[in-house]
Amino acid sequence: MKKILISAVLFAAMTAAASAMPLAPVEPAANTDVIQVAGGCGAGWHRGPYGGCLRNFADPAAHACPRGFHIGPGGGCRGNGK
């Protein structure tokens, strides 16, 4: 009877180890079919104050400095990133 009990325990231990979960990759594979867009509005659009999509449009005549410049100290136009 002891031999049957010991063989049953050993058999159970061997089958439990064989059904272990296989290792999975740490990071999932990147899906190249998906293009991530900020805010979900698409290129050329942005989220407005109430959550709607608004077109990225700026009237150059309404700005004090040309594109690529901003108002610096003293009110003069300075290049962006400088």
> What's the DSSP call for residue 82?
-
pLDDT at 26: 67
pLDDT by residue, tens only, the chain of 82 residues: 888 888 888 877 776 555 566 666 667 666 667 766 667 787 778 888 888 888 877 666 667 787 788 888 888 888 887 5
pLDDT cut 90: percent of the chain above it: 0
The string of DSSP codes covering 24-69 is --SSPPP-TT----GGGS-TTEEE-TTS-EEE----GGGSSS-TTE
Domain boundaries, given as residue ranges, for the chain: 58-82
